């Protein structure tokens, strides 16, 4: 699992786009994606 400063809103959106291209069911299954902060 990725963590740290390399993960931001842009990388999350790009990952979702890649998933939608790779998995046809992904885009139809997801209505909204929210990036929630994780506290350690």
Contact between 24 and 3 under an 8 Å Cβ cutoff? The reply is no
Residue 18 has a pLDDT of 93
Maximal CA-CA distance, the chain: 34
Residue 21 has a pLDDT of 92
How far apart are the C-alpha atoms of 26 and 16, rounded to whole Å?
9
pLDDT tens digits, residue range 4-38? 668 788 888 899 899 989 998 888 888 777 767 77
Contact between 12 and 35 under an 8 Å Cβ cutoff? The reply is yes
């Amino acid at each position: 699992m990725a963590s740290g400063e390399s993960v931001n809103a842009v990388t999350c959106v790009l990952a979702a786009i890649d998933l939608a291209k790779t998995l046809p069911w992904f885009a139809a299954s997801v209505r909204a994606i929210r990036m929630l902060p994780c506290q350690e």
